[in-house]
Amino acid sequence: MADPGTLPSDLDGSTRAAVMADVARLAGVSHTTVSRVINGHPSVRESTRHRVRQAMTALAYRPNSAARTLVTGRSRVLGVICMDPTYYGPVSVLSAVERSARQSGYAVSIANLPGLDRRSLTDAVDFLAAQAVVGIIAITPHAATMAALAHVPAGIPIVAVEGCSGAVPTAAVDQYLGARLATEHLLGLGHRTVVHIAGPADWYEAPERERGWRDALTDIARPTPSVERGDWTAASGYAATRRILARDRLTALFVANDQMALGALLALHQAGLDVPGDVSVVGFDDAPEAAYYTPPLTTVRQDFAEVGRTGMDLLLEQIEGAARSTRRVITIPGLVVRASTARPPNDQGRHTA
């Protein structure tokens, strides 16, 4: 005994949503014509197009994406694979990706990686593939998962962001360059050498930054102190710094990210060392907080939003027909000098060229 007289504009869920046939009936055309109007097909008379448009608004018609996906075989959904997005970098990239995806008319479905093994990566790909995503952006700065990327079926467009897999197109920041910038900044201030706290070896960025640091030193024949390693957290930066302090003295410290640098600042402070009076510190990332550490941190700035957008561009390029390339678009990082770096102690007025 449902009331058939209910207003068609009734949106509160009590009546079924309007479908294409309803619009067609109201506009006095066939459902095919409605479809044509929606998809911008050229051969529809202007007056008809107008009538259909009116009917659509009158009924608050929304195309059913499931039906669409079923018949075309492709959805308007992009998949994003990310590690536990708690670090500043991945989060910023995710945010930028979502933004540009929406601008291009795509929805974004996310899949967190529970672990770092190949299995969880393929699971995530399967999970997204089951949703008929039309492409995948993988924010996986982790070496093992990057390797797994090479093995995803070629049928589905995929792009890596922040990382370097030889197998798929990639958008990333030049980590090596950033590390050189940081190290050379310290050397330029007059420090004899620079101690490095690296990130976990199984992430892509960590060895790259370490390599940049090492090359900057060896290029001018400076000794390379042995590397301490953290896991990106402030806690690990703190612990690594304490190990270094127990080992020998230092005047310059390059830490592989800002959070670990924060831990380093605390350890130095607790050891009675002044930054930058006794020790200079440089970080990496330029997280928003870095400018407000005590002291404000000199660091390497990565434009994550830019990287995210670039990744989207690469993906769309692939979706729109290009075969999977191995293109690699790199973004240039920049050094942001703040108050955590200065000349080494007892270096009165050394004049550089």
Q: CA 87, 93, 118 angle in degrees (round to 5)?
A: 70
Strand partners, 158: 136
Quick one: what does residue 1 bind among DNA, a second copy, none, with the CB cut-off 5 to 8 Å set by partner type? Answer: none
Q: By C-beta, is 181 or 261 nearer to a second copy?
A: 261
Report if residue 29 touches DNA, rule: CB under 7 A.
yes
Q: By C-beta, is 61 or 293 nearer to DNA?
A: 61
Q: How far is CA 161 from CA 69, 151, 208, 332, in A?
A: 27, 17, 15, 14
Stretch that binds DNA, among 4-12, 61-69, 269-277, 317-325 (CB under 7 A): 61-69
Is 154 exposed, middle or buried (CB count within 10 Å of its CB: 0-12, 13-18, 19+)?
exposed
Q: How far apart are CA 179 and CA 216, in angstroms?
A: 8
Report if residue 54 touches DNA, rule: CB under 7 A.
no
With residue 336 as reference, give the H or E element that holds it. strand 334-336
Kindly determine how many residues on this chain lie close enough to bind DNA according to the rule CB under 7 A.
Answer: 29
Q: What is the 3-state secondary structure (H, E, C) of 59-84?
A: HCCCCCHHHHHHHHCCCCEEEEEEEC
In the complex, what is the shortest distance from the CB of residue 17 to DNA, in angstroms, rounded to a whole number?
Answer: 7
Contact code string over 72-101 relative to DNA, x by CB under 7 A:
xx----------------------------
Report if residue 129 touches DNA, rule: CB under 7 A.
no
Q: How far apart are CA 170 and CA 283, in angstroms?
A: 24
Report if residue 32 touches DNA, rule: CB under 7 A.
yes
Say which residues have a Cβ less than 8 Å from residue 95's Cβ, sequence separation at least 6: 305, 308
269: helix, coil or strand? helix
Instruction: Assess contact for 157 and 136: CB atoms under 8 A.
Output: yes
**Where are the strands (E) in 27-124, listed by range?**
77-83, 107-113
Report if residue 351 touches DNA, rule: CB under 7 A.
no
Quick one: what does residue 107 bind among a second copy, DNA, none, with the CB cut-off 5 to 8 Å set by partner type? Answer: a second copy
Q: By C-beta, is 65 or 103 nearer to DNA?
A: 65
Quick one: what does residue 112 bind among a second copy, DNA, none, with the CB cut-off 5 to 8 Å set by partner type? Answer: a second copy
* Cα 333 versus chain centre, distance: 15
At 36, which amino acid appears? Answer: R
From 234, 227, 235, 187, select the one nearest 209 (Cα to Cα): 227
Instruction: Assess contact for 308 and 315: CB atoms under 8 A.
Output: no
Quick one: what does residue 167 bind among DNA, a second copy, none, with the CB cut-off 5 to 8 Å set by partner type? Answer: none
For residue 134, the tally of other CB atoms under 10 A from its CB is 21
Q: By C-beta, is 85 or 276 nearer to a second copy?
A: 85
* Tokens of residue 24, six digits: 């067609």
Q: How far apart are CA 114 and CA 116, in angstroms?
A: 7
Q: State the residues that interact with a second copy by CB under 8 A.
A: 11-14, 62-67, 69-70, 75, 77, 84-86, 91-92, 94-95, 98-99, 102, 107-112, 114, 126-127, 129-132, 153-156, 233-235, 237-238, 259, 262-263, 265-266, 269, 288-289, 291-296
Report if residue 28 touches DNA, rule: CB under 7 A.
yes
Quick one: what does residue 237 bind among a second copy, DNA, none, with the CB cut-off 5 to 8 Å set by partner type? Answer: a second copy
Stretch that binds DNA, among 57-65, 181-189, 324-332, 338-346 (CB under 7 A): 57-65
Please measure the distance between the N-terminal and C-terminal CA atoms of the chain and give it in whole angstroms. Answer: 92
In the complex, what is the shortest distance from the CB of residue 46 to DNA, in angstroms, rounded to a whole number?
Answer: 7
In the complex, what is the shortest distance from the CB of residue 243 to a second copy, in angstroms, rounded to a whole number?
Answer: 16
In the complex, what is the shortest distance from the CB of residue 57 to DNA, in angstroms, rounded to a whole number?
Answer: 15
Report if residue 59 touches DNA, rule: CB under 7 A.
no
In the complex, what is the shortest distance from the CB of residue 94 to DNA, in angstroms, rounded to a whole number?
Answer: 29
What are the residues binding DNA (CB under 7 A)? 16, 19-21, 28-33, 35-36, 38-39, 42-45, 47-48, 61, 63-64, 67-68, 70-73
